[in-house]
Structure 1
């Protein structure tokens, strides 16, 4: 693991926001389930996206990768009756692909890396038990073997564990012989991610009836239609530069869709609540603030942007509460613990709660040696923290950004960020 020294400096310039990882996952899966050829434009080959591409190829899809686009032919998808799918460290790949891999009778093994094996899969295990699908798994590490075929029917799914279970079922159920119903048994978190799935399904010709996010009715025997698709820019990655602007940097963000259904777009509303001003000129968005004030942040609908919003809160006047964010403890790392630990080393005042953080704003941050906890979002949060620190910040494991944003350090330097390899 290599370290990087970040020298405090002002970011200034325009950055093209990379494509949405959430939407790219969904577009690849839908295109690979269509009996025909699709072109998916605006692709960045992060480790998570590569995992989903390889997963669909393992199921028989033909995928050709070019510099920034994919050609996908799903005519042969589902012909594989035994395969291994390496999810790397991608929770989306794992939870989307489990139901998709069982559209047809299959014997499939799922493996992965890092903390992926610690993420709960009980929702699927309950379905397997009910439908007679056989499975074996190991605790604490991802090595899951499944044999069987998913059957249409009624699926009762909690909404407060992960929306990825629901999305995975939504991808698979339209292709089964009978009609199905998904019943949400608790409050539904990350509704924005469900909206992205429903939008992508509609784009590729699949119809789902949404009854107020409490039930989803899915007719069987549907067919995905091949479709060319352009992946819009990613609000979860944009959030780092949105916060940078709110903390005094001069960054213009290019390519964001203000009408996007991405749940992480809420970062804009939260920053405005904290006193930041959002302006748009042509296709550029800028955030600026003379000062920030504390607020209360509900992390249930936008968990991926919570680490960098915690950075903004650490330099806001007053006490900010982040709540309903307990799921952050089962990401690539325990992100609540990581944010509290590493930003506190830089002078922030943070207290962990069971489901969030209490953050007392300070006037400035110091430098120091910190850890990314092998988590891409922690590393990028600390990079933005360096732009308002008093002295250098040294971060370990700089390569972990490849999971979602391989060009992050290149973009950071292009904006004027100063780094030295350690």
Structure 2
């Protein structure tokens, strides 16, 4: 077990560039692999999860190389994957597992996916159900709706799936299977989840559309595809990684941080709305509505210390910030007044049950927090104290409480700090540079 000690800081100053977006990095490898021709990816995130995706596609015969910092995927077309010799190792990556299930459901060979202990305890029934409805032959090896998953060839047909949850991973799995189906496939979700799949598939040549309904639900539709075509992808900075530095700039007196080239896709940028609601001093510079090479808006984000106040976070905003809730909870503990986080039961099925891990660790630091079935209630304004933080191998817990340690009195120790490598290997180095 590796541990990292964090001590209080004052007046953070500087300019940083954060690593590429994890969600977009995953998709660029996957879509490049099943496209015809070469896909060149710049600012690719070399975190453990994304490297698992690369390893899986290499196991299926896709040549993936590196040239002057760019990742080159030599795609073999929609039906160009080959049977892997052994089990596909997805590591700790739920994104790899769920999205690749959609792609593998349309292949002419059998495959098995398995990951580490954490991954193999996460629920996969949410993708097994719609993929099975499409005709996929997908089964949980141990019969517990978790990985390992075994997928055997089956003839796919288009369906309309009414998803009970707003989940980009569920939606993406179904849409990717839809590329191989015999007719239109559509997914309606109760709120619009992150839409990286729709944007990038469109740039690769897929016939895909989406519609936001008056009641807040959203439907994405895709037509069967003959071929996708390789693209140039510039991955924007990951807003989930930027969130920790946004929080540190807002919480530490005298701070002013400029965070370059951050993806500001509205389906991911819920934390920016929360910061605004809490009274944050944030300025957007060099905003670009769309980067044509990834279909994603970006901006430089200037953050200054602010006296934050509590707010209510819930409803359709939750899918746009679900990964940022641990660090939002830290912000709430330092803000004046009460913050209520609700409609976030999805937190229970992440790398850890994040309602429990956030509650456990904030209480250890002296915060007033009450867990609920679908979120938490935080009474802000209590001075945090240094504590021993149990990350439980959850990268977002480790990073969120490293930021809490910058504000807390005394030493904060992050257990299993190496887990940040999943999404942000340079996190502690960047933190020390400002």
TM-score by length of 2: 0.88
Higher alpha-carbon deviation: 233-242 or 11-20: 11-20
| Partner secondary structure for residue 86 of structure 1 | strand
Cα pair 1:192 1:261 within 8 Å, conserved: no
Q: 2:313 corresponds to which residue?
A: 297
Q: Which of 156, 166, 175 is the matching residue for 1:170?
A: 175
1:262 is displaced (CA, Å) by 5.2
Q: Does 1:231 align with 2:235?
A: yes
Q: 1:8 corresponds to which residue?
A: 8
Cα separation, 1, equivalents of 2:421 and 2:302: 25
1:179 is displaced (CA, Å) by 1.6
Task: Specify whether residues 24 and 127 from structure 1 end up closer, same or farther in structure 2 by C-alpha distance, changes over 3 A only.
Answer: same
The structure whose RCO (Cα within 8 Å, separation 6+) is larger is: 1
Cα separation, 1, equivalents of 2:336 and 2:365: 17
Q: Does 1:110 align with 2:113?
A: yes
Cα separation, 2, equivalents of 1:36 and 1:159: 37
Cα separation, 1, equivalents of 2:320 and 2:235: 21
1:156 is displaced (CA, Å) by 2.0
For residues 49-76 of structure 1, what are the alpha-carbon distances to aligned partners after superposition, in whole Å with 9 as ceiling and x for unaligned? 0111122222322111356321111126
Cα pair 1:205 1:224 within 8 Å, conserved: yes
For residues 54-112 of structure 1, what are the alpha-carbon distances to aligned partners after superposition, in whole Å with 9 as ceiling and x for unaligned? 22222322111356321111126634135521111111000000110122222101110
Q: 2:185 corresponds to which residue?
A: 181
Task: Specify whether residues 161 and 280 from structure 1 end up closer, same or farther in structure 2 by C-alpha distance, changes over 3 A only.
Answer: closer
Q: 1:80 corresponds to which residue?
A: 82
Q: 1:288 corresponds to which residue?
A: 304
Which residues in structure 2 correspond to 1:302-381 (within 5 Å)?
302-381=321-400
Cα pair 2:34 2:81 within 8 Å, conserved: no
Cα separation, 2, equivalents of 1:239 and 1:114: 27
Which residues in structure 2 correspond to 1:15-30 (within 5 Å)?
15-30=16-31
For residues 228-286 of structure 1, what are the alpha-carbon distances to aligned partners after superposition, in whole Å with 9 as ceiling and x for unaligned? 110011111101111111102332211224xx325332211211110111124556422
Cα pair 1:111 1:144 within 8 Å, conserved: yes
| Partner secondary structure for residue 263 of structure 1 | coil
Q: Which of 256, 266, 269 is the matching residue for 2:262?
A: 256
Higher alpha-carbon deviation: 312-321 or 70-79: 70-79
Cα pair 1:104 1:150 within 8 Å, conserved: no
Cα separation, 2, equivalents of 1:152 and 1:230: 33
TM-score by length of 1: 0.91
Cα separation, 2, equivalents of 1:134 and 1:272: 44
Q: 2:203 corresponds to which residue?
A: 203
Q: 1:273 corresponds to which residue?
A: 277
State the superposition RMSD in angstroms: 2.1
Count of matched residue pairs: 408
For residues 321-346 of structure 1, what are the alpha-carbon distances to aligned partners after superposition, in whole Å with 9 as ceiling and x for unaligned? 00111111111111111111101111
Task: Specify whether residues 218 and 27 from structure 1 end up closer, same or farther in structure 2 by C-alpha distance, changes over 3 A only.
Answer: same
List alignment gaps of at least 5 residues for structure 2: 287-298
| Partner secondary structure for residue 110 of structure 2 | strand
Q: 2:294 corresponds to which residue?
A: none
